[in-house]
């Protein structure tokens, strides 16, 4: 269901599209991450660590400027 209405899901692509729409509505105020190293299916260990650190910072320091990340790389 999306917004209380049943949706047809005949293909994996349709499920992906519905999930994306639901996430866009639910998490509309979060920053978009356009980094192909972070959003790909097979991550390098360095990218996985960076993504984990980012998620932790978002959860623990969501209200802090720059998510309380410092340095380069944080």
Please report, in tens digits, the pLDDT of each residue of the chain (74 residues total): 667 778 788 899 988 888 888 888 888 888 877 777 666 778 788 888 888 988 999 999 999 998 998 887 65
Q: Do residues 43 and 56 both lie within one domain?
A: yes
pLDDT of residue 63: 92
Kindly report the CA angle at 29 between 3 and 63, in degrees rounded to 5? 135
Q: Do residues 36 and 26 both lie within one domain?
A: no
Q: How many domains does the chain have?
A: 2
Is 74 contained in some domain?
no
Give residue 56's domain range.
32-67
Q: Do residues 37 and 60 both lie within one domain?
A: yes
Is 50 contained in some domain?
yes
Helix (H) or strand (E) holding 48: helix 45-60
Query: How far apart are the C-alpha atoms of 7 and 30, rounded to whole Å?
Result: 25
Is 55 contained in some domain?
yes
Kindly report the CA angle at 27 between 21 and 33, in degrees rounded to 5? 90
Is 73 contained in some domain?
no
Q: What are phi and psi of 12, to 5 degrees?
A: -60, -40
Q: Do residues 38 and 63 both lie within one domain?
A: yes
């Amino acid at each position: 269901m999306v917004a209380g209405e049943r949706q047809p899901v005949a293909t994996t692509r349709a499920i992906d599209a519905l999930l994306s729409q639901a996430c866009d509505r639910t998490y509309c105020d979060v920053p978009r991450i356009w980094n192909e190293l972070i959003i790909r299916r097979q991550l390098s260990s360095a990218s996985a660590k960076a993504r984990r650190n980012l998620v932790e910072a978002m959860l623990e320091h969501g209200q802090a400027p720059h998510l309380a990340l410092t340095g380069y790389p944080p």
